[in-house]
Structure 1
Amino acid sequence: MNAAQNIIRHFAACLDRAAAKHEPFAHWLLTDALPDEVAHAIPALPLAPPEIGDTLGKRETHNSTRNFFSVENRARFPVCEAVASAFQAPETVRRLEQTTGIALTGSSLRIEYCQDRDGFWLEPHTDIGVKLFTMLVYLSDVPEAEGWGTDIYDASKRHLGSAPGGFDKGIIFIPADDSWHGVAKRDFNGVRKSIIVNYVRPEWRARHELAFPDQPIA
């Protein structure tokens, strides 16, 4: 079995045991999302955490410092190629569609590798628009990372809790006008590492961020 096939099988089992939640919006909590060797290989990539100032509550404030499982990085790093291939695979897409009810045909895969330093925060937002699907997998292997998960809000932007942020845990949701989430200001004793997996609509303009820019989901 090659690396991508191993990820496909492992992630399918993860979806089988995902905890479905319905308030304040539909989301699924994940444990053991990626094979252990993959979950450790991603944060071991030779990509230094960016030195940035205040994000102003948005990732796009510092777009030039962001890292993606792009065509270039797929060629450079086997783990990027394996993960991207696994989430491009028809069997993974079908399982995600069955779990969430979203149709992904014609979308494109985008995977971002995030390394958030102390001082990072994100204002409550919904990911609506060109993003059809969002999944975060947390990859910081320290005990305090359990409290570093994505914060969840209601429509009034009232904080209701956080996704468990421990190593290889995650959250899936379908962006909609009620999917309020963010990262409240808190202390990070270390680097908050994660990947964000999106499937985006054809009108996504930053084609260099896509894993397979010329191969939409069939």
Structure 2
Amino acid sequence: MIYPPPIDSAAVAEHFKRSLAAAKRDDWPYRHWNLKEIYPEALCTGILALPVDPPRLGKTDGTRGTYNAVRTFFTPKMRADFAACAALCDALQRPDVAKLIGETCEFDVEGSYLRMEYIQDIDGSWLEPHHDIPEKLFSMVIYLCLGPDAKGWGTDIYDSNRRLVASASAEFDSAVIFIPGENTWHGFEPRKIVGVRRLMEINYVRPSWRSREQLSFPDRPIKLS
């Protein structure tokens, strides 16, 4: 038996494009899209099987920047070591996939760089309301949470006054997309996590992104032709 099962990046790309084409757009309190069945089953299995322990953080200040040293990004080394990382990175680096994302979300993806983070939150983790920095052109959060309470672990959404107005469902293999802006307030209110809150954040970032070690292809900007 081969485990995790083999993964074809072209199949991942086609699966993702179908999900994006069926995305539901909502303009309140800011423009975002809800997607389902983002990844094929083999890719979900491959990511969940990664030998990456959830970081034991203890008390945090509500930001991810306080523990940069133990965050997990899909870097060139991760691509080389794990087929799931390589397949997903290759799929979202493809011109046809990047073009569809840019057209759907109405932003210029040409020349940007792919950044992917695998996040495993345990009980005590939380995120204060924030909006992404301008260097992020595109943000997508994909939920890979398991357990009876997992659907309640979605991203919290706030209005321009930072009042909690909605929460995304963390249904397995679903996602939320938004284009970062000053009004795109989001976070994760403190609540009980039984198990591990697994998710991925995927960004296309500007060439000015300083933390090159976080990028999937540090020397390969997105090209649409």
Scaled by the length of structure 1, the TM-score of the pair is 0.97
Q: Does 1:126 align with 2:121?
A: no
Q: Secondary structure at the match of 1:42?
A: helix
CA RMSD of aligned residues (A): 1.2
The residue aligned with 1:116 is 121
The residue aligned with 1:201 is 206
The residue aligned with 2:74 is 69
Superposed displacement of residue 156, structure 1: 0.4
The residue aligned with 1:163 is 168
Superposed displacement of residue 2, structure 1: 6.3
Q: Secondary structure at the match of 1:143?
A: coil
| Partner Cα distance (1:143, 1:27) in 2 | 26
| Partner Cα distance (1:203, 1:119) in 2 | 33
8 Å Cα contact 2:141/2:201 also seen in 1: yes
- The match for 2:188 among 170, 176, 183 is 183
Query: Runs ≥4 in structure 1, deviation > 3 angstroms?
Result: none
The residue aligned with 1:19 is 24
Q: Secondary structure at the match of 1:157?
A: coil
| Partner Cα distance (1:47, 1:125) in 2 | 27
- The match for 1:105 among 107, 110, 132 is 110
Gaps of 5+ in 2: 1-5
Q: Secondary structure at the match of 2:48?
A: coil
- Alignment identity in percent? 44
Q: How many pairs does the alignment contain?
A: 218
